[in-house]
Amino acid sequence: MVTNMVPGDRPMFPVEVAGKTYYGCCPVCVRRIKEERAVRYTVDPVTKREVDKADAFIVAGPDKKAIYFESEQTAGKYQALSASKKIRQ
């Protein structure tokens, strides 16, 4: 969650903060998740609203970067828009 990369085979450690579960890959990430609110939140690229990563619908981008959405519906809109842009290029 700190690097926003899809973990793949890498082990992830659950980190509880205020009753929600986040994931870190190393002690530094675990510390940052606990201490830095900005690491736990991001912005949905469709709605432009803040999203708590613990509640987000997550999609792997083409570069293995995690993209966080408010819902599966906004993720679908993003994927449809991305597909239409590729077709036009």
- The pLDDT, as a whole number, for residue 83 is 80
Residue 86 CA: distances (Å) to CA of 2, 15, 54, 80, 83: 29, 37, 30, 10, 5
Separation of alpha carbons 83 and 86, rounded Å: 5
Q: Amino acid letter at 46?
A: V
- The pLDDT, as a whole number, for residue 89 is 41
What does the chain come to in residues? 89
Task: State the pTM of this model.
Answer: 0.84
pLDDT digits (tens, 9 = 90+) for 1-55: 788 888 777 789 999 999 999 999 999 999 999 999 999 999 999 999 999 999 9
